[in-house]
Amino acid sequence: MWIFIRNIPTATTKRELYRFVNEGLRPRWMPFPLSSKKRIRHCEVICITDGEYRSVEHHGLVQLDSAVTGQKAIKKLCGNKLHGRPVAVRRYFYRADQRDKRQRQHNILSERRMTDRRRQNLHVGRIENLKTEAVDGFNRIHD
């Protein structure tokens, strides 16, 4: 199951996001995890830049080993603070453009809403383990 962690702080790395989710899954009374079972399969930080409004958002995507673990993570992590900012956690749904029923139906039978409700002009990128502040000022001149 994939979970979506909304509006994480800008300076958050993949390692910090992984640690945040992993600590949220651990029972509070247990100082260390008992099982060596890996619950987190994949973790990444994504940056969404809106070309129209010039805004930047950072979100986390985490793949967990089961739906039960995903529901537990959503319940425990929603509202918790990551770097002092409360985050919202929900289930992630992949929505492909090709699966839009309105594009396959005849105009008479189609839904009233003729356009997509998604925001236009978005650029989605992945953030690697480097913090963005350290990379911004780095320029190399080749002669």
Query: Is 101 domain-assigned?
Result: no
Query: Is 125 domain-assigned?
Result: yes
Look at 14-23, 93-102, 126-135 and tell me which has the smallest mean pLDDT.
Answer: 126-135
Looking at the predicted structure, is the pLDDT value of residue 71 above 60? yes
**Number of domains forming the structure of the chain:** 1
- Residue 32 sits at φ, ψ, to 5 deg, of -145, 155
Query: Is 111 domain-assigned?
Result: no
Give per-residue pLDDT as tens, 112-134: 666 666 677 777 778 765 443 33
CA distance 12 to 22: 15
State the pLDDT confidence band at 61, using cuts at 50, 70 and 90: very high
What CATH number has the domain bearing residue 13?
A: 3.30.70.330
Query: Is 108 domain-assigned?
Result: no
Query: Is 12 domain-assigned?
Result: yes
Query: Is 122 domain-assigned?
Result: yes
CB burial of 64-87 (b: ≥16 within 10 Å; e: otherwise) equals beeeebbeebbebbbeeebeeeeb
Global confidence as pTM = 0.70
Query: Is 142 domain-assigned?
Result: no
pLDDT at res. 114:
63
Structural domain range at position 125: 2-27+39-96+118-130
Greater pLDDT, 95 or 50? 50
Looking at the predicted structure, is the pLDDT value of residue 26 above 90? no
Query: Is 143 domain-assigned?
Result: no
Mean pLDDT of the chain: 78
